[in-house]
Amino acid sequence: MTGHSRPRGADMPPEEFRRHAHAAVDWMADYLANVGELPVLSPVRPGETAAKLPPSAPQHGEAVEDILRDFRDVIVPGVTHWNHPSFFAYFAITGSGPGILGEMLTAALNTNAMLWRTGPAQTELEERTLDWLRQMMGLPEGLHGTIHDTASISTLIALAAAREAAGLGVREEGLSGRDLPRLRVYASREVHSSIDKAGVTLGIGMQGTRKIDTDGEFRMDPAALEAAIEQDRAAGIRPLAVVATTGTTSTSSIDPVRRIAEVCRRLDVWLHVDAAYGGSAALVPEMRHVLDGAELADSLVVNPHKWMFVPVDCSVLYTRRPDVVRRAFSVVPEYLLTPEGETVTNLMDYGPALGKRFRALKLWMVLRYFGAEGMAERIREHCRLARELAGWIGAEPGWEVMAPVPLSLVVFRHRPHGMDDAQVDALNERIMAAVNATGRAYLSHTRVNGRLVLRFAIGNLGTTEEHVRDAWKLLRDAASPEAASS
């Protein structure tokens, strides 16, 4: 690598930035156009990328041409391409054109909207854009929205607010060294691991999350929930919150939120709805039922970076009780006091972070570019493709769909006649590995009723029926007797 001289203490000159930025944007445009030709799952081995990088930083600045060359030659080959149209392993994310432009402009502005004064436009754009999104999802007026990085943090904030609402004095006195009741959070057995992590972080502990039984479609049983809450109360345990899920990770099941909300109202327990994935489906007018009852929740999270084509990261937390969230987190030292006082929103008051990135810009640009109808059209098509795939699987001898398909996730397995469960598990693991090794598609697995199954999640903007058909052929080829004997 060659050294590169530049004025001491100066940034990259604007004209040099212009030249390299044009080159970078040209690369980005080519990448977005051709990402489907790359191996979706990186073939590198552990440590391979690090071995190509120097063990220490350069003493002198290097030319941007050299840096970009190493990006292309060293970094990109080690990337698993979430923007690939055949990325089916996890709930898809798409860095769309308007979203990428928004991210670029955000980086250029480089603002911190911790206070209204440090980001007037940023604060008000966030509030207005989240109200647009609320309307698009069919949610009622009166919800307060804030943007965070991921659903894990949004949910952590919601459960911290639930703890504040319980009146335990944790904000002032903490948890340790006090005589407090044991606290409990309730969720279905299909709940995301972020709920367990939130419990660990908030001092509730792994055992503080009680997993409620589900029905035949993997949805939380409200009667079992009510019985669990009453049993815990009788044992001196303090119910803190219930987490209902719209679109679980393993099966995309949709908990009966309205019935759960009735239990929470009757027993006076905070209700948080995890709609990180499934909430996006409410952008499709005929699919608004996925959020039925969510208007009764105390808080709800949805991730525009999952299925709304906004680049990572962008998670939205809505709440009917912003006063409680603010009470849980607001700490205002003298140096952060401003003349506007209570007349404005200071985003720092609604979560643990002081710093506040301008994430609203990319969401605003995506919603404007595609529009409500355009967003709905694309999500609707992903759900159609999932139903189509489920139909192909159900019609193929030796294959079975293992869960309902209410959204765009298909959970299935290959089960030839005469194999026991352990053999079927091992076979499906081999099939998944063979498909992923081709570089033409990437799938993941989970367990349903204790059995290993394959997950096929559709949600990338570039995914077409051809991509789904090609992956389905790869699966059948990998399951063929010829493949098994090779």
pLDDT digits 0-9 by tens, 20-63: 999 999 999 999 999 999 999 999 999 999 999 999 999 999 99
Position 351 pLDDT exceeds 90: yes
- pLDDT for the residue 87: 97
Position 6 pLDDT exceeds 70: no
Let me know: does 464 contact 85? Beta carbons within 8 Å.
Answer: yes
- pLDDT for the residue 37: 96
Position 5 pLDDT exceeds 80: no
pLDDT tens digits, 132-144:
999 999 999 999 9
Q: Residue 56 has what DSSP assignment?
A: S
128: left (phi over 0), alpha (psi -120 to 50) or beta: alpha
Percent residues over pLDDT 70 in the chain: 98
Model confidence at 176, pLDDT cuts 50, 70, 90, reads confident
- pLDDT for the residue 32: 97
Q: Is the pTM of this model over 0.75?
A: yes
- pLDDT for the residue 482: 72
- pLDDT for the residue 92: 77
Model confidence at 1, pLDDT cuts 50, 70, 90, reads very low
pLDDT tens digits, 261-287:
999 999 999 999 999 999 999 999 999
Helices (H), 120-204: 120-136, 151-165, 170-173, 193-201
Closest to 242 (Cα-Cα) out of 223, 264, 222, 221: 264
The mean pLDDT value for 147-175 works out to 95
pLDDT tens digits, 444-469:
999 999 999 999 999 999 999 999 99
Unique residue bearing structure tokens 């340790």? 176
pLDDT tens digits, 110-119:
999 999 999 9
CA pair distance 314, 118, nearest whole angstrom: 20
Average pLDDT, the chain: 95
pLDDT tens digits, 392-428:
999 999 999 999 999 999 999 999 999 999 999 999 9
Q: In the sheet where 399-401 sits, what is the strand order?
A: 399-401, 409-414, 451-457, 444-448
Where does residue 365 rank: exposed (0-12), middle (13-18), buried (19+ CB within 10 A)?
Answer: buried
Token reading at 135 = 């309307």
The mean pLDDT value for 87-105 works out to 95
Q: How many residues does the chain have?
A: 486
Position 473 pLDDT exceeds 90: yes
157: left (phi over 0), alpha (psi -120 to 50) or beta: alpha
CA pair distance 80, 436, nearest whole angstrom: 11
- pLDDT for the residue 93: 84
**How remote is the C-alpha of 31 from its chain's centroid?**
23
Let me know: does 389 contact 410? Beta carbons within 8 Å.
Answer: yes
- pLDDT for the residue 485: 61
Query: Who's near 213: CB < 8 A, 6+ residues apart?
Result: 188, 189, 220, 221, 224
Query: Who's near 118: CB < 8 A, 6+ residues apart?
Result: 111, 112
pLDDT tens digits, 205-244:
999 999 999 999 999 999 999 999 999 999 999 999 999 9
Model confidence at 7, pLDDT cuts 50, 70, 90, reads low
Closest to 96 (Cα-Cα) out of 29, 39, 18: 29
Model confidence at 374, pLDDT cuts 50, 70, 90, reads very high
Model confidence at 481, pLDDT cuts 50, 70, 90, reads confident
